[in-house]
Every structure is written in structure tokens, then in C-alpha cells.
Amino acid sequence: MTSTSSPPPARPSGGFGLILVLGLAAMVVSMMQTLVVPILGVIQSDLGTSTAGVSWVTTATLLSAAVFTPLLGRFGDQHGKKPTLVGVLVLLVAGSVLAATTESLTLLIVARVMQGAATAIFPLALSVLREEVPHERLHTAMALVSGTLAFGSGLALVGAGLLTQGAHPDYHRVFWLACGLAVLALVGVLLVVPTSRHRTGGRTDWLGAVALAAMLVLLLLPISQGHEWGWTSGRTLGLFAGSAVTGGLWVLIERRVREPMVDMRMFVHPPVLFTNIAGLLVGFAMFAQFLGVSYLVQMPEELTGYGFGASVLRASVEYLLPTTLVSLVAAQFGGMLVSRIGARLTLVAGAAFGVTGFTWLILQHDSTPAVIVAGMVVGVAISFGYAAMPALIAAGVPHHQSGIANGINSISRSVGSAVASAVITSLLASKTIQHLPAGTPPLPEESQFTLSFALAGGAFLLVAVVALVGLAARRTSAQDAHSVSGADAVSVPEPGAVSVPEPGAVSVPEPDAVSVPETDAGRPLAR
């Protein structure tokens, strides 16, 4: 007999203070990803390193997130969310202090590895919400916390621009900002987040963790460095091949160990699998918008015939900050939509906004108001996507797997962002304007920005396909006859799968509260 564990009832203490603290922690997570983007040139100049060398300041964080997020998400499921959150935040504070005080590239990269581990905070925060917030408010709470991700990314760009203004910019100030916010989040977690009541215990699947980490590193390393090494170089192709081989080994390990880090049935369960695909696509589109708009508005119009000649600070404040503010506001509406129409249709609505916003950027990126408003439309799309995905994950996995499942979803978005960075960078460098004045660095042709926005819009179009086809609800006639007031009917589980409600249902039990008895053949008994 197979059954899923029932979570303890949510405590009424899961109120606004808890959501605010977890939202702050999630915001700090997203800031770590984009914090250094505007100051890479300053770091390169101050430390006297090469472009390839300074690129490891971003690559190290990406690889660290890939390694630690699933491991710490699973660790939180097993041993408690609060102590794991506290440990990760302490590591983040230590990494931020090291980055703010070092003059060594090697130590800065070490600090960025420590900061990268903070990505695990987001899935842990969602797990805490699922345990502490009453079900009728869960979707809204998850949407608000998820909405801080896009807001944090934009805030980091603005903060970095403001703190490095002047004739003598100092990148250390940016890391002190990160340190201060991390300390604030740590104090909030210590004071507000209750001690976990739901722990699975068990052994840590170290072999599976190492295999998963190796696969992700071998995948993300060539994605992030391919434009430097060459996409057809032996090093790049060899690492991609190594990732494929290691991925096969990881699957084999997880299918054989007694307590796998990732339950492969959960991993390929359609709601989880297609939500992760959607996460990859949304991560791609979000980073493409940040990079594409940031580079576009900084182009000198007198040399290129397009662009606005904006400074880094102006690009962040005038063109990107409105997107992040709209994302934060739209997050609460995303949560309401999830409760009213379901997570799947909310994801479709977000995809529609995304396609609209990028189409607008394709057609009218020669006007400042058009670029700003189109970016705000994309911000709504990102918020709706972030609001829908945690609800889809929550409806697709049992309670004791929520940490690792949300961790994998976070990694899918990180992979999408890494792919976007590599693709946009390669596109802009592949076709440059000819006959520029002597001494002018290569500048991309306008068509490359148009192509970049088209790819991002195509990503949102694929999100709509994933939501409408891959995540389509399946019901039996008997269940259709038994309507549930104010909610979708409960879906019939696949043979051997967990019985879960339709994503977005508001008046049915938590998906993991259902115990599914099985026959000897592994099929659910008639209900």
C-alpha cells in the first residue's frame, strides 16, 4: 500500500509578518543573481583581470545555486525548514562580508559561491508557507513571495547603479548592501518563522546529490562560458556530452537507492515536469528582457541610429525599475487569479501578457514610453508565471517533497536565465555595425535586438502551449458529475501516482492529504 503523508494543519500564525519576512528573504535571493551585472566592468578594472576572469563572478553563483538548491531543499524537508533557512542566511551574510572586504578575484569568486547557495532560500520559503499558511490564503501568499523575485532582480540593478556613481566607483558598497539586507532577513527569520513541525528525517542521498550537482555543473558551465570558449570548441561540446552521460547516471542512481534525493516518479509526473519546462521558459524570457532592454537603451543613437544613450543608472531606474514595481504589484493579483480560475489558466494569462509585451518591444523599441510600458506588460507576465508555478508544484507533489520539488523548479528558472544570457550575448556579438569611427568598440545591429525580443516572445508562446496542452486537466465523467462548489473537480491519478486536485482549486484538501490505497497490481482501488 502506498500513501502520502498528511501535513499538520496550518497554524493561524501564518500571517502577514511571516509572508513579509519570507518575501524579504526571497528578494535577497534574486538580488544575488543580478547584483553584479552593472558592476562587472568596475570589478574587472579594480582587480586588473580579464573579461574571461571577471565572468566567473557571475558563473560561480550560477553553479553554486545549481549544486546547493536541490540539496538544501531536500535537507529542509528532512531536518526542518527554519534551521536550514537560518544556516543558508548565515552563509549568505558571510559571503557578502567576504565580497565586501576582499581585493582578490579568487576570494571574490569564493564569496559568490557562498552567495549562490542562497538560491535555496526560495523553495524553503515556499515550503514554510505551505506548512504555516491556511489553505484558503496559500496561493496568494505564495504569489506575493514569488513576486519579490522579479522585484529583487530590478532593485539590485538600481542599487548597484546608484552605489557606483561618481568618478571613483567602488564595487564593495554593492556587497555591503547585500550584507545589510541578508542580516535583516536573518533576524526576521529568527524572530518570525516558527519551528518546523513536519520533518521526514531519513538519510541524505549523497551519491544522488553529487551526480545531480555534476550534471548541472557540466551543463551550465558551457552555457555560461560558451561565448568565450566557442560553441563548437572541444571543451564546450565535451562538457555538454559529459552532462548527458552524468544525467543518465543520476537517473540510474535515483531509481536504485532506497531513499532517493529526487523521486523520479515525482520528477516526471506531468504537473511537475511541465511546470519545470514552463519555469525554464519564463526564466529565459525574464532575463532576455532585462539584458535586451538594458543594452538597447544604452546604445549611442548618434553612432547606431537607434537607442537612447542612457547611462547604467538611467537604464536601471528609468527603463527597468517600472517593470520590477509592476511585477511586485501584479503578484497579489496573480495569487487572486490562481484562487479564482486555477494556476494553469493564470499561467496562460501570464503567457498572453508576455507575448503582447515582447511584440510591442519588437515593433516600437524606438520610443522611450513604448519601451517602458512594454516592459511593464512583461513584468505582469513574469509575476503571473511566478504566482502560478508554486501552486502547480504544490498540487503535484506530496508535502514531504515540496522543498526538493520547488528547488528543482528554481533550478529550471536559473537554467533558463543562463541560456538567455548566453543566447542574447552571442546574438548581439554575432552581427555588428560596420564602418564605426576608429577606436569605437563593436556595437550590435538593431536587428539583433529585434531577434532577441522575438525569441523571448516565442518563449512565452511556448509557455501557453505547455499550460494549455501539457498541463491540461483530465477528468472522468463520474467526477464531472460530482461538482465541487467554487473549485475544479478532483483529477484522477495516474496508476501509482499521487492523487492531486486540479491546480488552483480552493476548497479541496491539500494534495498530500490524500491516501491512495493500491491493489497488488499498483493501481488505485475503486473509490
Q: Which of 2-6, 470-474, 478-482 has the lowest mean pLDDT?
A: 478-482
DSSP for 182-246, written as a single string: HHHHHHHHHHHSPPP---------HHHHHHHHHHHHHHHHHHHHHHHH-TTSHHHHHHHHHHHHH
Q: Which residues contact 447 (CB under 8 A, 6 or more apart)?
A: 431
Domain shared by 255 and 271, yes or no: no
pLDDT at 489 (0 to 100):
33
Q: Is 133 a domain residue?
A: yes
Q: Which residue in the block uniquely carries the three cell numbers 551550465?
A: 220
Residue pointed to by grid coordinates 521526514: 200
Does residue 486 form part of some domain?
A: no
288 within some domain:
yes
What digits encode the pLDDT tens for the residues 8-21? 444 444 578 898 99
137 and 214 share one domain: no
| Grid coordinates given for 376 | 511593464
| Residue 523 scores a pLDDT above 90 | no
d(CA 108, CA 174): 13
User: Are 211 and 190 in the same domain?
Assistant: no
Examine the fold and report which residue of 140, 167, 194 is the final residue of a domain before the chain moves on.
194
Number of domains in the chain: 3
CATH number at residue 311: 1.20.1250.20
The verdict on residue 2 lying in a domain is: no
Are 48 and 109 contained in the same domain? yes
In a domain, 482, yes or no: no
* Averaged pLDDT for residues 496-519: 38
Tell me: do 284 and 248 sit in the same domain.
Answer: no
| Together in a domain, 384 and 454 | yes
Query: pLDDT band at residue 497, thresholds of 50, 70 and 90?
Result: very low
The answer on 376 and 525 residing in a single domain is yes
65 assigned to some structural domain = yes
**Distance (Å, rounded) from C-alpha 195 to C-alpha 201?**
15
Residue 251 and residue 317 in one domain: no
Q: Give 269 or 82, the one with higher predicted confidence.
A: 82
C-alpha torsion 346→347→353→357, nearest 10: 160
Residue 3 maps to a domain: no
Q: Residue 382: its pLDDT value, please? A: 92
Q: Report the candidate in 486, 516, 487 with the shortest Cα–Cα distance to residue 500.
A: 516
Of 174, 194, 214, the last residue of a domain is 194
Q: Which of 241, 260, 279 is the last residue of a domain?
A: 260
Range(s) of the domain holding residue 272? 264-432+442-474+493-527
Convert the pLDDT of each residue in 378-393 to its tens digit: 999 999 998 899 888 8
